[in-house]
Structure 1
Amino acid sequence: MKQYLNSYWFRSAYYSFLQRFSIILFGLFNFMILARILSVPEMGIWGLFLTIITLAENTKTALLKNAHIKFVSSNLESEEKSVVASSSLLINLAITLLYVLLIVVFGPLISGLLNMELTFAQLLNWFIPGLMVMAFFAHLEAVQQSHFDFKGVFAGNFTRQFLFFIILLIHYIFKIDFPLYYLSIYFSLSILAGLAVLYLYSKKYLLGRFNPSKKMTGQLLHFGGYIFGSSVLSSIFANLDQLLTARFLTPVSVAFYNTAKRINGFIDIPTYAGAEILFPKMSQAASAKGIEGVRNLYEKMVSVLLALIIPAALVVIIFPKLFIYILAGTRYYAAAPLLQLYMFISIIGTFQHQSATSLDSMGKTRLNFTANLVAFFIKLLLTFLFLKYMGFYGAITAAVITSVISAVIWYVLIRKQTGVHFSSIFKNIFLMYGQAYTQVLQLIRKNKS
């Protein structure tokens, strides 16, 4: 038992799940407070701000983290590890400065295109220090995970989420009013606190040298280029409903979509945590065992994730208004149908996330990018058409249809590349449910006796 608890899979799953869970949980707590402080239009503006910032963070991380992990984990020499880390940080800072330039120059234009007030541009401008801090935060995350250590990543993310929550709670309890841009300042301070904690856990892996090389920079960009493109597309793909709803409708409509997305985030915890855990091990399996190793890991991971997600999603689908009432109150009941459909999308999305991770670990980054590009344009076209002719429910309708089409595309790709059998996945799911049922019966009988 002790050996199992000390295994990579248990430790990484434990901390990755805690990290994802804490991010979503505090996100929900923060949303519950803000939904009772801010007006519905202000909630729409804040929700879209978080969408843009998360998109920027995720895409930059996609370019660097997987490449950083792959090259560090495959090099045993500390000098080579130092070159990888230094080159990764250099690219990270360069992209961050590009983001800052885009905010300064195009902030007001973005606000206009998304039908937001200038308050939105104000939020972005006040968050520029936070963007700079995020660059170092993301770098230390990659350093931790490249050494198969997830503890510090959890501690850093927990700190930033907890501090932001405490600040909002103080405002709520003592009824302290504040302008919307204060949230950007609080968000930046929280990330800075998280960075300090993450550094304490990561300093044992830092070699104290900054020696980037042109060759390694090129290798990181080459490996991460298609992953970056895939991440940009998948991130925009996931948030296209909110972005286009803001463009064609109002911030109020965005607030309803954001409410449904927040609750849906709980269901997606296992999926994203699973992808983070799976990538380092799949990279090793692809090198050591080839296609068979990747296939076995894929089938096992997807089986476990679906066994967890399906029951939880069904509960939310049956009682959507209950969850919305707890989270945001009766003002947001219009989000109930959106929430039910997002649950369906989450179940299907499990296959896509793990398939994308598998392809990247096998070095099939270009194929992954192409699949994401096709799905993106399908969703863009359908979302535009359905929003135009259906209004409020147009974006979610397009999202459901696109998810079904994408599921078919990803099934064909992963089956062709690895020989995955979906029948094996569903067989594993029923076996896990059977085993769980048997263990529950045994526990009941033991307690009775």
Structure 2
Amino acid sequence: MNFSYFLNIIQHFPLKTLYQWFKEDSFKLLFKNAGTLLSGNMIAWVMGFFTYAITARILESTQFGMLVLITTYVTIVDQLLNFQSWQALIKYGAEALERENRNEFKSIVKFCTLLDISTAIFGTFVAAVFVSWIGQWLSWESKTVSMAALYSFVILFNISGTPTGLLRLFNRFGLFAVQNILSSSIKFIGIVILFFTGADLWFVLILWMTTTILGQLLLFVLGWRELHKQGFSGIHKVTIRNISTQHPGIWGFILTTNLNSSIRLTSREFDTMIVGGVIGVESAGLYKIAKQIAAIPAMISDPLYQAIYPDLSRLWTRGDVKRFSQLMVRSGFVAGGGAAIIWVIFILFGSFFIQLVFGAEYIAAQPVLIWYMFAMVIAIYGFPLSPAMLSMGRPKTTFWVHLSSTIVYFPLLFLFLESMGLIGAGVAYVCYYLLWTSLMIGFEHTFLKEKMVYSTN
């Protein structure tokens, strides 16, 4: 497959069709909101990326791998026990706003806020208690266990689920950009200072902890400020006693979406812990670098995911199946095409990029990077599938797809790590997303046909 092949594809690409898509209001609004998020995410990612690069140069490769494992452990506990309240707020909040029922909307906000607070407290406790067991499995020294226990308090301040949902629901995506840029800028400035002062792992960890907490608190303030600007006050006065009666499926939705997120988390974060446990701490550091670089195409899909979910929820509530399907297919095609171009660039220049930014000692991350980024390209083509399934009110189906794919993924991960080394982690991830995407497309095709038949009748 040579350059002329790609050129031939570009020449025959239906650009006129693509132009017509962008003339439609819903498609234009989606990419406008996503573009706002992307601009902030791009700046934040660049700063975050160079923060990682400078950190890798401050620390030895073993210490860098240790930092990766500590932060990954806390992230896993946080996201396992965080109930993703923003998803419930968008689904049930959008319905309440569509009915113009302000008190119902305020009760949903209060319910989700209390959920955020309770899971933050519980998550902090669990992370601090189980860190000793994790330390034994990974052969951590007592000093490393103490570091992980301290970093666990990041979870206590993660009460930003409801503010996240509010900003997305009110189309205030620009504020996410503000939050991302400010928090990443502070961390970047801090790591530059540590670079010139010759800091050790303790100082780096405290910097990461402090800036993460500040970012979470800033998002909390921005979300609640926007709620008051929209004219919603007295949230603490409304009752939530009848929340289950008013919304019979809300607990099932929350529990199922949490299980979905937990299952997805296992494939996104547990892999780093497994790499560290199976082939060593340094390999975990290399793998984290590959994942950090592979997040470049994900910058396309993440803002689109955040922007498309409220739109899909509204279209499904109105029964507009045609526009619902069009928005899914077209947005996935555009985002996936952009991700594929980035992937080809890193096939050609990935080694040079790693050596330039991180140093020659990390160039071994290149092979796993190519495979991992290929998996991300597949995922980005299918990015509308998850928000579409949530909008359909089918979180249980998503859960079973995630569970089935993950059950296949982890045995492959262990097998490929043992037989191929670090590159096996990337190959296993490609297998995961091929299976996940195929299952999701099959189920959603069936549900869309059912909805069309129901709407016709």
Corresponding residue of 2:121: 97
SS of equivalent residue, structure 2 residue 233: coil
**What is the one-letter code of the residue matched to 1:204?**
K
Aligned equivalent of 2:344, options 293, 297, 314 = 314
Q: CA deviation at 1:84?
A: 0.6
Preserved contact between residue 409 and residue 428 of structure 2 (Cα < 8 Å): yes
Corresponding residue of 2:193: 170
Aligned equivalent of 2:257, options 203, 214, 227 = 227
Q: CA deviation at 1:295?
A: 1.0
1:336 matched to 2:366? The reply is yes
1:83 matched to 2:83? The reply is no
Corresponding residue of 1:27: 48
Corresponding residue of 2:229: 204
Q: CA deviation at 1:297?
A: 1.0
CA distance in 2, matches of 1:398, 1:53: 24
* Alignment gaps of 5+ in structure 2: 1-21, 450-457
Q: CA deviation at 1:59?
A: 5.2
- What does residue range 180-199 of structure 1 map to in structure 2 within 5 Å? 180-191=204-215, 194-195=218-219, 198=222
Preserved contact between residue 337 and residue 381 of structure 2 (Cα < 8 Å): no
Q: CA deviation at 1:327?
A: 2.8
**What is the one-letter code of the residue matched to 2:171?**
F
Q: CA deviation at 1:41?
A: 1.4
SS of equivalent residue, structure 2 residue 260: helix
Q: Deviations over 1:186-225 (max 9, x none)?
A: 3345326634762555542452322451442675432222
1:358 matched to 2:388? The reply is yes
**What is the one-letter code of the residue matched to 2:174?**
K
Corresponding residue of 1:324: 354
Instruction: Describe the shift of the 1:393–1:381 C-alpha distance in structure 2 as closer, same or farther (beyond 3 A).
Output: same
Preserved contact between residue 124 and residue 153 of structure 2 (Cα < 8 Å): no
Q: Deviations over 1:329-357 (max 9, x none)?
A: 11101101011111211111124432122
1:237 matched to 2:288? The reply is no
Corresponding residue of 2:137: 113
CA distance in 2, matches of 1:119, 1:353: 41
1:147 matched to 2:173? The reply is no
Instruction: Describe the shift of the 1:319–1:48 C-alpha distance in structure 2 as closer, same or farther (beyond 3 A).
Output: same
**What is the one-letter code of the residue matched to 1:130?**
V
CA distance in 2, matches of 1:196, 1:413: 36
Preserved contact between residue 187 and residue 208 of structure 2 (Cα < 8 Å): no
CA distance in 1, matches of 2:279, 2:150: 26
CA distance in 2, matches of 1:208, 1:331: 56
Preserved contact between residue 368 and residue 422 of structure 2 (Cα < 8 Å): no
Instruction: Describe the shift of the 1:181–1:308 C-alpha distance in structure 2 as closer, same or farther (beyond 3 A).
Output: closer
Preserved contact between residue 134 and residue 191 of structure 1 (Cα < 8 Å): no
Higher mean displacement: 169-178 or 343-352: 169-178
Q: Deviations over 1:301-339 (max 9, x none)?
A: 111102211111110112111221233111101101011
CA distance in 1, matches of 2:285, 2:440: 31
Instruction: Describe the shift of the 1:192–1:351 C-alpha distance in structure 2 as closer, same or farther (beyond 3 A).
Output: closer
1:13 matched to 2:34? The reply is yes
Instruction: Describe the shift of the 1:117–1:21 C-alpha distance in structure 2 as closer, same or farther (beyond 3 A).
Output: farther
SS of equivalent residue, structure 1 residue 268: helix
Corresponding residue of 1:445: none
1:284 matched to 2:314? The reply is yes
CA distance in 2, matches of 1:393, 1:177: 30
Higher mean displacement: 314-323 or 390-399: 390-399
Q: Deviations over 1:72-100 (max 9, x none)?
A: 22212322221111100111111111111
**What is the one-letter code of the residue matched to 1:139?**
T
CA distance in 1, matches of 2:269, 2:217: 28
- What does residue range 410-425 of structure 1 map to in structure 2 within 5 Å? 410-418=440-448
**What is the one-letter code of the residue matched to 1:359?**
M
- What does residue range 330-409 of structure 1 map to in structure 2 within 5 Å? 330-409=360-439
CA distance in 2, matches of 1:19, 1:177: 30
Corresponding residue of 2:240: 213
Corresponding residue of 1:70: 91
Q: Deviations over 1:363-386 (max 9, x none)?
A: 111111100000000001111222
Instruction: Describe the shift of the 1:63–1:174 C-alpha distance in structure 2 as closer, same or farther (beyond 3 A).
Output: closer
Q: CA deviation at 1:131?
A: 2.0
1:160 matched to 2:183? The reply is yes
Preserved contact between residue 351 and residue 410 of structure 1 (Cα < 8 Å): no
> Percent identity, aligned pairs only?
19
Preserved contact between residue 13 and residue 273 of structure 1 (Cα < 8 Å): yes
CA distance in 2, matches of 1:197, 1:12: 21
Corresponding residue of 2:288: 258
Taking only aligned residues, the RMSD between alpha carbons, in angstroms, comes to 2.8
Q: Deviations over 1:53-86 (max 9, x none)?
A: 4445555666311111122222123222211111
Aligned equivalent of 1:247, options 268, 273, 277 = 277
Instruction: Describe the shift of the 1:270–1:394 C-alpha distance in structure 2 as closer, same or farther (beyond 3 A).
Output: same
**What is the one-letter code of the residue matched to 1:12?**
N
CA distance in 1, matches of 2:226, 2:199: 35
Q: CA deviation at 1:290?
A: 4.1
1:125 matched to 2:149? The reply is yes
Q: Deviations over 1:137-185 (max 9, x none)?
A: 3332222112222122222222222111111111123434462542344
CA distance in 1, matches of 2:445, 2:174: 34
Q: CA deviation at 1:18?
A: 2.5
* Alignment gaps of 5+ in structure 1: 420-449
Corresponding residue of 1:427: none
